[in-house]
Amino acid sequence: MSGNVFTVGLIAAWYPSNIGVLLLNKYLLSNYGFRHPIFLTMSHMTACELLSYVAIAWLNIVPMQAIRSQTQFMKIAALSVIFCTSVVSDNISLRFLPVSFNQAVGVTTPFFTAVFAYFLTLRREAWLVYERRSPWSRAS
């Protein structure tokens, strides 16, 4: 049961922190006149790296894992570059878009991820992945 409470606590902490980062980024990039979205992204990524290391190495929240091969390293590096590009693009867009539109576009990510995954792997996801309404909502 304590594992469930911990998970719920993490999710509950994630929402306000995610909203806070988004609103702070919008304020810095649009209202405050900060003109360096890549530096802002670098600062966020550095903080995440340091806090993740503390959580793994000192607090032992999850075990430390070694990279086992060159292939695994290349996959991790590619994922890192793609993720960083995504965050930089998101930060740059905040200068020009309202937060509400930014979030509305972000909500479409699971759908487009499933569509692109189909074109790359030619494997179709379960129909619930493509449905517009939540799979937990009651059928009308």
> Binning pLDDT at 50, 70 and 90, where does residue 4 land?
confident
Distance between CA 63 and CA 9 in Å, rounded?
Answer: 20
Q: Which residue has the higher pLDDT, 136 or 21?
A: 21
Q: Which of 108, 140, 113, 109 is nearest to 125 (CA)?
A: 113
- How does pLDDT run across 113-135, given as a tens digit for each residue? 888 888 988 887 777 666 655 44
- Which pLDDT score, from 0 to 100, does residue 54 have? 93
The pTM of this model reads: 0.67
- Asked if residue 45 lies in contact with residue 87, where contact means CB atoms within 8 angstroms, the answer is yes
CA 6 to chain centre: 20
> Binning pLDDT at 50, 70 and 90, where does residue 31 land?
confident
Distance between CA 6 and CA 2 in Å, rounded?
Answer: 6
- Asked if residue 70 lies in contact with residue 89, where contact means CB atoms within 8 angstroms, the answer is no
Q: Which residue has the higher pLDDT, 20 or 126?
A: 20
User: Which amino acid is located at 129 in the chain?
Assistant: V
Q: Which residue has the higher pLDDT, 130 or 140?
A: 130
The HSE-up count of residue 117 (CA atoms within 13 Å, CB side) is 12
Q: Is the pLDDT of residue 137 over 50?
A: no
DSSP symbol at 36: -
Q: Is the pLDDT of residue 53 over 80?
A: yes
